[in-house]
Structure 1
């Protein structure tokens, strides 16, 4: 068990992140025609609007909430927000976003399973990713109850320390996770595996969504008519 723990929380994160980054780059380079979300809106609009909006708003909040919450050093927010208060804020906001994501995800899964035309164009990886996100989400919601048993924020600090050691390539990350409750460890394993599945699924379109923000900062394009065209009125 000690070797398994060391692998899961000391080695596996780097495997997942390497596959996530290199796999996405290779897929973009070699299979650009598959780099899309494969929207099923034309096949059936029912449940898409509510399911899509609730899912995307909720999961984006959860993603950036985890990103900022785990990777922000404790000393940055400590003068304004104690560990216990930060954990309470994460529990409340994460719980609301988690419920939104859950409702949206259930609507999308039901739509994909109940509509024969959408089910026919779905790939096995589509269902793997959908249900993997669902399990990850449920584990996260369950972990809120365990967080309430540690109101001092000690578990949250341990999780943050683990994530920061991973991204800064410091040793001892697995040891930090040794005392964490099992539900957090399983939740983190499922979350890391999502990065592993990412390049092999339609999730790659998320990169395009983030890249689209660059269009807000593009300079204006000046289009001028050619000289002869002006004179002839064409």
Structure 2
């Protein structure tokens, strides 16, 4: 029953929160969509941490999309062997995963250690930072430790298939029963982030500033 709740019921509860939360935020509270920058308070740590995190997370998300959404048969059909795929995935994924983790660690440390930044932070800001930090840590632990410790495990034959089944409303919870604990905890933490996503500053991710490409420069003076 616990296995079915985690891998059948919980994903749809998270999806409902994600979808309806965004609808509610847009209809009734969309003027609060902002990254709430604290650059005016402290800039150096913010710049380094933000650059590392955002560059890293873009490639991490892209790697997850390839690994979870694209079936193994597709990559094999275009000549990418399983061995080659894992070497590239682990190598490139580790580099950008470490970048994203280092950036989020710096941003979280800054938010908790700088009195002025902490005073301007909400409880939800701190929860989101910690959730992202733990999720990234568990992802790195899964890649660097859980994978080598479980040589017979292949997430593309378990997690990936279960993930794609969610979108056709036929998830098989038994596929997740043998998944290593680090992977399971990583997924559950990701669930928490997606469930909270509409109610936090993370919604600024949808506000892609395309108008910046054509607007005039804004000049700031001290």
Q: For 2:29, which of 24, 27, 31 is the aligned residue? A: 31
Contact 2:153 2:179 in 1 (8 A): no
Counterpart in the other structure of 2:46: 48
Aligned-partner Cα distance in 1 for 2:5–2:184? 12
Task: Within 5 Å, give how 1:123-138 maps onto structure 2.
Answer: 123-138=122-137
5+ long unaligned stretches in structure 1: 221-234
Aligned residues: 212
Query: 2:167 and 2:191 mapped to 1: Cα distance?
Result: 13
Aligned pairs for 1:2-13 within 5 A: 3-13=1-11
2:220 corresponds in structure 1 to none
- Please state whether the residue corresponding to 1:36 is helix, strand or coil: coil
Query: Is 1:107 aligned to 2:109, yes or no?
Result: no
Cα RMSD, aligned residues only = 2.0
Q: Is the 8 A contact 2:68 2:163 kept in 1?
A: yes
* CA gap 1:83/1:168 in 2 versus in 1, 3 angstroms: farther
Stretch deviating more after TM superposition (58-67 or 142-151)? 142-151
- Distance in 2 (CA, whole Å) between partners of 1:104 and 1:34 is 25
Aligned to 2:140: 141
The structure with the larger Rg is 1
Mark the runs of 5 or more structure 2 residues left unpaired by the alignment: 215-222
Question: Does the 8 Å CA contact 1:43/1:118 hold for their aligned counterparts?
Answer: yes
SS of the equivalent of 2:179 reads coil
* Deviation (angstroms), 1:98: 1.2
Partner in structure 2 of residue 68 of structure 1: 66
Contact residue 48 and residue 108 of structure 1 kept, 8 A: yes
Give the superposition deviation at 1:92: 1.4
Q: Match of 1:226?
A: none
| Cα deviation, residue 195, structure 1 | 0.4
CA contact under 8 A between 1:59 and 1:98: conserved in structure 2?
Answer: yes
User: Could you say if the C-alpha distance between residues 114 and 150 of structure 1 is closer, same or farther in structure 2, counting changes exceeding 3 Å?
Assistant: closer
TM-score, length-scaled by structure 1:
0.84
Name which of structure 1's ranges 120-129 and 79-88 shifts more when overlaid on structure 2.
Answer: 79-88
Is the contact between residue 87 and residue 153 of structure 1 (CA under 8 Å) also seen in structure 2? no
Indicate the residue corresponding to 1:59 in structure 2: 57
Moved more, 195-204 or 85-94: 85-94
Task: Tell me the residue number matched to 2:218.
Answer: none
